[in-house]
């Protein structure tokens, strides 16, 4: 996967022209590199500008007298004792923004008042790759900075005393970046290009990394009794698919862990059609599936020592003459019947059959599903946390910790029998929506009916996967939320 930067690591480097970036923590001076700035232009500039090294603040010195660089930029890191992994990511993203248009840059990571580890360096590099991402596939005129480089990646050298260890750590960071960028690309793709079949082809492409992939067609799903999933798809001329990905990096005897993604490639709402305003955003209603395929790419690319299953329920929800109607009753793969009250509550119908299939086929240690499922979760949490629902405190705790480590944060929401009454149906075992109140909770209660006693978590990422606030490591409409979170969950808890 092509990156905008060709990043290398070195213990020392002489900068001849181009951009040099120096780091500075609060209360200290910037790094001093005598051969870059022998006449102390940076020291004078920081004094005149009263630059103190506040987090992500910058000082730009153009054509410094006597310096070997054409431009020297000082980047603030903030308080040294408060720096987290996410702060290093953000610093890398901030640096990436300043490199735009440059053909080469040398970044000196070591600075007074701080000890930079190999992981810090790798996190900085990951932040650069994520921060530089843009989706311009359909633009006929490329950005000025890309035009200036002729489409070539900018050559960046990160200078640190721990260069050799940083190179190894960066191999993992590159795998994470590839997974996040894959997820972003898929969510950003227009629905006329990315249908269920095309999405399944993306999953099939992971075979080159060693992932075992099976694709179930409409006919095969019908034999399995997946009428809930198929009911969503029946209004579209584009056939549904169920993509099953297996990464077998652990011991043969170990039961797998499983991740399931909602992949509604476009959601019109069906017969319960959505308002026209903003409907174009519903090309992103497959953000859960994008996160799962991005995770599987990352795990395979970094050769994770775990057995992992990823399942994508891929459909399009459209309102033609064959579309599912409000009031229809369908039988899920589990045998439970569902009254369809609202055809726009379709994601849970896709997931219930995918969850049941996963549980029955693979007997996993746990299942985590991800979905841009409800607007209600955005009312509750906005765009800074995803909703976490779980029947298992250990799994919920590990997911929460992974979210804090990656800053892809989760907030646990309640489950309870009282909410079950809201989705009881007069005509079937359940209905697919419980009405206006507690909408995200009743959706989770619905899904819980399809997991038996298997430890399970549902992540409602409606507010975080698409249209979330821009920051130093993401300027894209699609964030790729969930890839780093779940990779951290696997790495911290399920790899030996």
Active site (catalytic) residues: 274, 348
Q: Confirm if 273 and 320 have CB atoms less than 8 A apart.
A: no
| Residue 253: Cβ-neighbour burial (10 angstroms; 0-12, 13-18, 19+) | exposed
Q: Which long-range contacts (C-beta less than 8 Å, at least 24 apart) are formed by 207-212?
A: 209/297, 209/300, 209/301, 210/247, 210/300, 211/245, 211/246, 211/247, 211/296, 211/300, 212/245, 212/246, 212/247, 212/248
User: Looking at the DSSP assignment, which residues form a beta bridge with residue 72?
Assistant: 20, 61
């Amino acid at each position: 996967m092509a990156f905008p930067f060709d990043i290398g690591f070195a213990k020392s480097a002489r900068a001849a022209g181009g951009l040099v970036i120096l780091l500075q923590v609060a209360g200290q001076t910037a790094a001093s590199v005598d051969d870059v700035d022998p006449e102390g232009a940076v020291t004078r500039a920081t004094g005149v500008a009263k630059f103190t090294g506040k987090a992500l603040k910058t000082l730009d010195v153009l054509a410094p007298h006597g310096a070997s660089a054409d431009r020297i930029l000082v980047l603030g890191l903030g308080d040294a004792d408060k720096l987290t992994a996410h702060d290093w990511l953000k610093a890398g993203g901030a640096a990436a923004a300043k490199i735009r248009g440059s053909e080469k840059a040398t970044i000196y990571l070591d600075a007074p008042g701080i000890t930079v580890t190999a992981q810090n360096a790798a996190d900085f590099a990951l932040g650069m790759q994520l921060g530089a991402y843009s989706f311009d596939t359909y633009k006929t005129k490329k950005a000025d900075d890309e035009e200036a480089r002729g489409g070539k990646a900018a050559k960046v050298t990160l200078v640190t005393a721990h260069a050799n260890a940083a190179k190894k750590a960066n191999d993992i960071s590159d795998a994470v970046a590839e997974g996040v960028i894959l997820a972003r690309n898929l969510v950003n793709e227009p629905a006329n290009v990315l249908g269920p079949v095309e999405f399944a082809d993306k999953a099939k492409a992971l075979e080159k990394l060693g992932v075992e992939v099976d694709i179930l067609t409409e006919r095969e799903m019908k034999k399995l009794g997946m009428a809930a999933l198929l009911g969503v798809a029946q209004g579209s001329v584009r056939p549904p698919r169920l993509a099953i990905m297996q990464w077998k990096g652990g011991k043969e005897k170990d039961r797998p862990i499983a991740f399931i993604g909602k992949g509604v490639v476009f959601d019109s709402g069906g017969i319960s059609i959505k308002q026209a305003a903003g409907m174009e955003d519903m090309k992103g209603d497959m953000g859960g599936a994008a996160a799962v395929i991005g995770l599987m790419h990352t795990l395979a690319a970094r050769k994770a020592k775990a057995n992992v299953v990823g399942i994508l329920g891929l459909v399009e929800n459209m309102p033609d003459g064959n579309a599912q109607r409000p009031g229809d009753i369908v039988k899920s793969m589990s045998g439970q019947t569902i009254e369809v009250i609202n055809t726009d509550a379709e994601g849970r119908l896709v997931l219930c059959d995918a969850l049941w299939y996963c549980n029955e086929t693979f007997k996993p240690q746990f299942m985590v599903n991800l979905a841009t499922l409800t607007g209600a979760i955005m009312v509750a949490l906005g765009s800074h946390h995803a909703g976490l629902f779980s029947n298992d405190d250990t799994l919920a705790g590990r997911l929460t910790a992974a979210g804090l480590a990656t800053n892809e944060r989760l907030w646990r929401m309640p489950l309870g029998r009282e909410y079950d009454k809201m989705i009881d149906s007069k005509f079937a075992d359940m209905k697919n929506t419980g009405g206006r109140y507690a909408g995200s909770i009743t959706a989770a209660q619905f899904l819980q009916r399809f997991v038996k006693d298997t430890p399970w978590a549902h992540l409602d990422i409606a507010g975080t996967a698409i249209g979330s606030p821009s920051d130093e490591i993401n300027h894209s409409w699609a964030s790729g939320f969930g890839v780093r979170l779940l990779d951290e969950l696997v790495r911290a808890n399920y790899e030996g």
